[in-house]
Amino acid sequence: MGFKDKKREREYKNAWARRDRKLHPEKYRKARLAYAEKHRENNKRYRDKLKRENPEEYARRNTAVSKRYRNKSKKNRGRVRVINKKAHIRFRRNHQEECRKKSREYNRRSKKRAIQAENKRKRMEWLIKGDVTRQQLIDLFELHNDSCHYCGKRIRKPNFSPLYLVGFDHKTPMSRRGRHTIKNIVPSCINCNSSKNNKTYSEYMKWIKNVRDPALSTISGPERG
Ligand SMILES: [Zn+2]
């Protein structure tokens, strides 16, 4: 086979090689790996030498290579997505009942999360509407000798944030139309806070007396009632 025109010959050979690479990618991959393996030592020596003698060029090549890989993976991303999508569809077909159950669960959970977020938002709105100050909380805490209003246990010093309100409890909770004012707040330990939940003050006092621990109801905290 002969081309008189060297340029045309090169073009022909290149086109052939391109087609061959496309047709037998595995063969070329293997050849590439074998070549790299065969020249591994040499390559390493060359790289080390370059790094030592011309670190700028070494860095430039490194970034060029990583850039090339990045572009390649970017190019492949769409393809991978299609493959994944197909696998996903296949999986759903083969695991129908399981997938339905999972998606039901996911929906339920996300609904629950949405409700929780809405409640949190409402509570924050309510807290902002109140007029409680940090100093009022500090004074109230001191007045109660750093103790829970309900059970008398000492409480670790809270951070006294009027909008965070850990370590305190609303006597009449938001859900029972209470207001976020200092008159409606008492220091409270976590246990009492969670067992009071959304009971009103008198409901909770009754509950303590009759249900939780009749002995505790005899402890008298300041300003109880
Ligand atoms: Zn308590």
Tell me the CA distances in angstroms from 45 to 40, 42, 50, one per residue in order.
9, 5, 9
Residue appearing with tokens 């197909």: 86
Q: How far is the CA of 153 from the centre of ligand 1 (A)?
A: 6
Q: How far is the CA of 167 from the centre of ligand 1 (A)?
A: 10
Which pTM does this prediction carry?
A: 0.52
Question: What gap in Å lies between CA 68 and CA 63, rounded to an integer?
Answer: 8
Q: How far is the CA of 125 from the centre of ligand 1 (A)?
A: 27
Question: What gap in Å lies between CA 188 and CA 182, rounded to an integer?
Answer: 14
Q: How far is the CA of 166 from the centre of ligand 1 (A)?
A: 13
pLDDT digits (tens, 9 = 90+) for 38-88: 999 999 999 999 999 999 999 999 899 888 888 888 888 888 888 888 899
Question: What gap in Å lies between CA 148 and CA 154, rounded to an integer?
Answer: 6
Q: How far is the CA of 149 from the centre of ligand 1 (A)?
A: 7
pLDDT digits (tens, 9 = 90+) for 91-145: 999 999 999 999 999 999 999 999 999 999 999 999 999 999 999 999 999 999 9
Q: How far is the CA of 122 from the centre of ligand 1 (A)?
A: 26
Tell me the CA distances in angstroms from 131 to 84, 200, 217, one per residue in order.
55, 21, 31
Q: How far is the CA of 190 from the centre of ligand 1 (A)?
A: 7
Q: How far is the CA of 176 from the centre of ligand 1 (A)?
A: 21
Q: How far is the CA of 211 from the centre of ligand 1 (A)?
A: 15
